[in-house]
Structure 1
């Protein structure tokens, strides 16, 4: 059943279930929120999101009542959409994704309020899980309207991940091969072994299978030496990825402080020296009744 809500001075918005005719407009909203280094969400990918409507790796049997709803303004245009689901175990509601016109914070408020009304007296976790079209976490800088709407509704921001991005287009090609790449059949994509010319092992990494020239650095381990600092070895790795057609790379170190008490951001400094820039931070949110 559609829910009609009035917001602001005479604004009138309707929340209703998603319909196939909404596809083009919803994809436009998703595209408007796309961060550099992320592939475009196609109709096929969004179809997987609608069909599964559950976090990556979560068994469908553990979830129930998946929903995809849209917000329509008084002129009939879709101005926002969200996917959410009830977790069977524990009774929590998961707000998996939400996209809207970020310059109109009221749209995000309508969607958030709608999910809360449907959740009743349940804990709601927002952006805590990855989906087929996004990483876990809300990009709080680029999605400021949604972040403000969540916090105004009583959600608490939790520790998340830094969104580091690097363009590989202009990297110089290494003078000799120092990387062995194995393409894995599993979702992780490429397993990389870094070595010296004489075969001495100096590191390893896993990179997601590239889509439209973009990829995700799952993890990397390097053997550091005084004459070859970590960022030099990382740049070597990046150059070989560029040589294989990857134009943009993303890595997500977490935002937690070093448990050893060291205030230096060693991981961040390593990536910065190698050419990465922090474009945003991704944070999950939780609201308890």
Structure 2
């Protein structure tokens, strides 16, 4: 980190938010921890675990999920927005990528997803990034998936678009409450830890004769929630593939998974949440429901 950045870290940087309110943006301090965790909790989507101090600390240290080493960022910053009373009403994590100097807006949360507060934080980050290309919500962190939930956090989406950001292709966030499943007769299943990923389960579904019916990888459950990373099923000519998927889900429910999330591709111009494509239809028939769409954003100079 250069000397000017260190100096700025020590000083309080003020940003005026117009006549509606006075918002000050300053560097994050340890005493802000609880307030920032509350802001993150307010934006939590169904099927996602509560963010803990350790998880937030992992992000503040500049680490990627599952990584002990810092990511390739320069000048990584965490700043908070405070109102006249000193209450933390927003927080933003950002940095500059070492290899090309592009700006990275990693995460942002603000009180009630207030568009004005989000705008203050976005403009603050852009001022530091100067004329660089900036990528927003383009990478996962220990506290979130990649992509901004554009439906649940409309204020932040509007603030980004008003600041010159363009929405990119992202992911449809589907959710299933497995504890609501009826008991189903199902085939034999094997669940083992993934050899290549200690944070996940490798799941194999087979019939009583040992014939392979499908495979899947599921993230290790946290507080009864997990992510279906990928799945492949044996072809079903009668279109009953969703029954095999339902059998997977029943097994996971038996093993303490109460909520399951899956991310499917979603184009930037398709945000109506409608059914499109056989993969989405398969999941919907098995009981998944779209909660939101997650989209990264890019702003070019």
Fold in common (TM above 0.5) = yes
Alignment match, 2:292: 280
Note the 1:97-108 alignment, pairs <5 A: 97-108=107-118
**TM-score computed with the length of structure 2 as normaliser:** 0.89
Say whether 1:118 aligns with 2:125: no
Q: What's the secondary structure of 1:27's corresponding residue?
A: helix
**TM-score computed with the length of structure 1 as normaliser:** 0.93
Tell me, yes or no, if the aligned pair for 2:63 and 2:71 is still in contact at 8 Å: no
Distance apart, 1:71 and its partner CA? 0.3
Say whether 1:173 aligns with 2:201: no
Question: Which deviations, in whole Å up to 9, do the C-alpha atoms of 1:198-235 show, x marking residues without a partner?
Answer: 11111100000000000000000001223561111100
Alignment match, 2:148: 138
Tell me, yes or no, if the aligned pair for 1:55 and 1:96 is still in contact at 8 Å: no
Distance apart, 1:101 and its partner CA? 1.5
Alignment match, 2:137: 127
Alignment match, 2:83: 73
CA distance in 1, matches of 2:30, 2:211: 55
Is there any run of 5+ residues in structure 1 with no aligned partner, and where?
258-262
CA distance in 2, matches of 1:92, 1:103: 26
Distance apart, 1:280 and its partner CA? 0.1
CA RMSD of aligned residues (A): 1.9
Q: What's the secondary structure of 1:252's corresponding residue?
A: strand
Tell me which of 210, 218, 222 is aligned to 2:221. Answer: 210
Tell me, yes or no, if the aligned pair for 2:74 and 2:95 is still in contact at 8 Å: yes
Tell me which of 266, 269, 283 is aligned to 2:278. Answer: 266
Q: Which moved more, 1:16-25 or 1:5-14?
A: 5-14
Note the 1:107-256 alignment, pairs <5 A: 107-184=117-194, 186-227=197-238, 229-256=240-267
Tell me which of 16, 29, 46 is aligned to 1:6. Answer: 16
CA distance in 1, matches of 2:111, 2:70: 30
Q: Which moved more, 1:136-145 or 1:50-59?
A: 50-59
The 1:23/1:281 distance shift into structure 2, 3 A limit, reads same
Question: Which deviations, in whole Å up to 9, do the C-alpha atoms of 1:157-201 show, x marking residues without a partner?
Answer: 000000000000022334355211112362441000111111111
Is there any run of 5+ residues in structure 2 with no aligned partner, and where?
1-10, 269-274
Distance apart, 1:265 and its partner CA? 1.5
The 1:156/1:57 distance shift into structure 2, 3 A limit, reads farther
Q: What's the secondary structure of 1:221's corresponding residue?
A: strand
Alignment match, 1:260: none
CA distance in 2, matches of 1:286, 1:133: 21
Q: What's the secondary structure of 2:264's corresponding residue?
A: coil
Distance apart, 1:87 and its partner CA? 0.5
Distance apart, 1:103 and its partner CA? 4.7
Q: Which moved more, 1:31-40 or 1:188-197?
A: 188-197
Question: Which deviations, in whole Å up to 9, do the C-alpha atoms of 1:109-143 show, x marking residues without a partner?
Answer: 00000000000010110000000110000000001
CA distance in 1, matches of 2:233, 2:226: 19
Tell me, yes or no, if the aligned pair for 2:170 and 2:293 is still in contact at 8 Å: yes
Distance apart, 1:52 and its partner CA? 2.1
Say whether 1:44 aligns with 2:54: yes
Alignment match, 1:89: 99
